[in-house]
Amino acid sequence: MTTPALLPLSGRRIPTLSPGASSFPHHRATLRLSEKFILLLILSAFITLCFGAFFFLPDNSKHKRFDFGLEDVLIPHIESEKEARHSSRQVIHGVGAHDEHRHREEEESLRDKIRADHERALQEAKEKLRKSKEELKAEIQTEKTKVVEDLKKKDGPKPLPPVPMPKLVGVNDGDPGDPDTKEKRDKIREMMKHAWDSYRQYGWGHNELKPIAKKGHSTNIFGSSQMGATIVDALDTLYIMGLHDEFKDGQEWIEQNLDFSVNAEVSVFEVNIRFIGGLLAAYYLSGQEVFKVKAVQLAEKLLPAFNTPTGIPWAMVNLKSGVGRNWGWASAGSSILAEFGTLHMEFVHLTYLTGNPAYYQKVMHIRKLLAKMDRPNGLYPNYLNPRTGRWGQHHTSVGGLGDSFYEYLLKAWLMSDKTDTEARKTYDDAIEAIERHLIRKSNGGLTFIGEWKNGHLERKMGHLTCFAGGMFALGADGSPDDKAGHYLQLGAEIAHTCHESYDRTVLKLGPEAFKFDSGLEAVAVRQNEKYYILRPEVIETYWYMWRFTHDPKYRQWGWEAVQAIDKYCRVSGGFSGVKDVYSSNPTYDDVQQSFFLAETLKYLYLLFSSDELLPLENWVFNTEAHPLPVLHLGNITLPGSETQQ
């Protein structure tokens, strides 16, 4: 799924370019007068104007015009208007000397008001001159802040409509009961606290952490801005684990600092699954409105990405300008199946929470378009051109570039309380084609999922593909032709293969990709496939298999992973990926991925918790492990759904 120049970053996602950093220069004028001197010039000009006005103000009530002063501006307009009204009254009502006297009094009153205003302006000017430079700067800043706040109130988002909160079950605790399991769960919680505290100390506000260098880190999927990806991604894990002080710190940062009106080009897919998914999950778990408001603000910034001839969104969008484009390395400028196909869960919830049908309509349009297209061998190629609506290179994968498209078909059905039968049928048809063309058994008896490239099956499986074991188990109930047992067994076989990929390394951590040919099975061959970057997919499958079978081997395998991560990836500044899982002295990649806190540690914690914590009947996890509640809509129709029939 990757080339040597590319580094895939997180669970069920595409490869991205190598990390880069940018900074904004601070420009200063090389020559400028002191601020106080400029203020003095302005104030002295103002005082001169005031004295001039005083000098030329009349001292009687005669109708007199002056050739200079403020009355050239004020008095002629007043007098002409009054004369017009006066003559009109004389003609209509025969107004006499009494009215003439009243007009003089009004004009005298106006002059008195002007004099008073000038006096007040002079007094304010004198007071300004007595203030220090620092006091003046503070006043200016206060005024600027007030203007900004007033503009925000004026142009701020409309209040969201009240909607019934879905039934929320099992949002905390999950005590496993026996002391040994609880001790293991406590260890995982301690690892989460170490990862969070390290980020809090060394990378706060940055997207991710460099735990060796002990500083912030970011990648091109987030653009050049500091959007606090780790904070948003980790919130629900903190909440589930009962780390409420840490959760509160994250909430405060989001309230005060998370701003999407930045000139940053971001990955629509990554920002959707990490930020929108993370914010929605935090909202549902905690009930704090700020998370819902921020999720909607960000979602509005993503909508321009759909402005393409086909409605298939661009891979990237600039949050400020709304300009979109695709990855330069993608086949012929194509959009990617796993990206535009991994929006449904979050966008349905956005329509539910806002009443805005646009989100639901966008994702349903994608589904309808794909349904009309021919699919080679029933398979979905990974690339689709958003301009022409045609497939790009015929490459099909259940790993990177394709994976979460299939996952979201199944989860759209589950999240709809199993009413979205169209999604279920599309999933079943896709899995049938995958079984026929991609799933094979190795000579050693290991079931694996290969990749289809231009009519040829590549006998290689990626770490990302290992999520599919859990997907098959999750989708077993409801399978056509009474195949529930078959798919549960298929999930178990994939879990076993992926465990072997871990067990056959020195570190007992799985490589990025592993082959099944030339006598080698479940082993990485290329050096650039031997790394482990704290990925969650294998552990995710262990958890799903545990939930559906309660076979103790899945907890045993999960504990092996906990021990290996703690031994080989833990450093004083957090947790780091390693570059070679076959080396007894591996080098670190010096990145603590945000998905390590969002997914890897969450799935491990759930593996050693009771089934009452986030039961699968009530919650569906997005591809970044953010739990969203099942929408028991009953007779309620989502806004916009009526136009999709």
Residue spans per domain, the chain: 179-629
pLDDT at position 575, please?
99
How many Cα atoms are found within 13 Å in the side-chain-facing hemisphere of 439?
A: 20
For the chain, give the mean pLDDT: 86
Mean pLDDT of 532-544: 98
The confidence band for 639, taking pLDDT boundaries of 50, 70 and 90, is confident
pLDDT at position 127, please?
74
The residues near 503 (Cβ < 8 Å, ≥ 6 apart) are 560
Mean pLDDT of 442-471: 96
- CA dihedral sign of residues 70, 75, 77, 78: positive
Q: How far is CA 355 from CA 114, 297, 359, 362, in A?
A: 54, 14, 10, 14
pLDDT at position 117, please?
79
pLDDT at position 149, please?
59
- Residue 109, pLDDT above cutoff 70: yes
- Residue 300, pLDDT above cutoff 60: yes
Q: How far is it, in rounded angstroms, from Cα 117 to Cα 579?
A: 74
The residues near 208 (Cβ < 8 Å, ≥ 6 apart) are 199, 216, 217, 218, 219, 229, 230, 591, 592, 593, 594
Structure tokens belonging to residue 553: 């081997």
Structure tokens belonging to residue 390: 């045609």
Assign residue 287 a region (left: φ > 0; alpha: ψ between -120 and 50; beta: otherwise).
Answer: left
The confidence band for 223, taking pLDDT boundaries of 50, 70 and 90, is confident
| Number of helices and strands in the chain (H, E) | 21, 21
- CA dihedral sign of residues 324, 329, 333, 337: negative
pLDDT: is 329 or 47 the higher one? 329
Q: Give per-residue pLDDT as tens, 230-280.
A: 999 999 999 999 999 999 999 999 999 999 999 999 999 999 999 999 999
How many Cα atoms are found within 13 Å in the side-chain-facing hemisphere of 601?
A: 30
Q: How far is it, in rounded angstroms, from Cα 87 to Cα 84?
A: 5
Q: What 8-state DSSP symbol labels residue 31? A: S
Q: By mean pLDDT, which of 72-81, 148-157, 311-320 is the weakest?
A: 72-81
H or E element, residue 453: strand 451-453
- Residue 22, pLDDT above cutoff 90: no
Instruction: Give which of 254, 243, 274, 196 is closest to 625, Cα–Cα.
Output: 274
Q: What percent of the chain has pLDDT over 90?
A: 69
623 is in an annotated binding site: yes
Q: What 8-state DSSP symbol labels residue 465? A: G
pLDDT: is 97 or 123 the higher one? 123
pLDDT at position 114, please?
84
- Residue 69, pLDDT above cutoff 50: no
Q: What 8-state DSSP symbol labels residue 317? A: E
Cα torsion 74, 78, 79, 84 to 10°: value is: 150
Q: How far is it, in rounded angstroms, from Cα 621 to Cα 625?
A: 5
pLDDT: is 640 or 625 the higher one? 625
Chosen CATH of 179-629 out of 3.40.50.720, 2.60.40.1220, 3.40.1280.10, 1.50.10.10: 1.50.10.10
Instruction: Give which of 538, 409, 386 is closest to 461, Cα–Cα.
Output: 538
- Residue 214, pLDDT above cutoff 50: yes
pLDDT at position 152, please?
54
Three-state secondary structure along 120-154? HHHHHHHHHHHCCHHHHHHHHHHHHHHHHHHHHHH
Q: How far is CA 264 from the centre of its chain?
A: 13
Mean pLDDT of 90-101: 54
Mean pLDDT of 543-562: 98
**How many of the other CB atoms lie within 10 Å of CB of 468?**
29
Catalytically active residues are 270, 403, 512, 537
Q: What angle do CA 382, 477, 425 make, to 5 degrees?
A: 45
Structure tokens belonging to residue 432: 């049938």
Q: How far is it, in rounded angstroms, from Cα 109 to Cα 115?
A: 10
The confidence band for 154, taking pLDDT boundaries of 50, 70 and 90, is low
- Residue 77, pLDDT above cutoff 80: no
- Residue 138, pLDDT above cutoff 90: no
pLDDT: is 272 or 132 the higher one? 272
The confidence band for 15, taking pLDDT boundaries of 50, 70 and 90, is very low
The confidence band for 19, taking pLDDT boundaries of 50, 70 and 90, is very low
pLDDT at position 129, please?
74
pLDDT at position 73, please?
35
- Residue 21, pLDDT above cutoff 60: no
- Would you call 49 helix, strand, or coil by DSSP? helix
pLDDT at position 120, please?
80
Mean pLDDT of 292-317: 98
- Residue 408, pLDDT above cutoff 90: yes
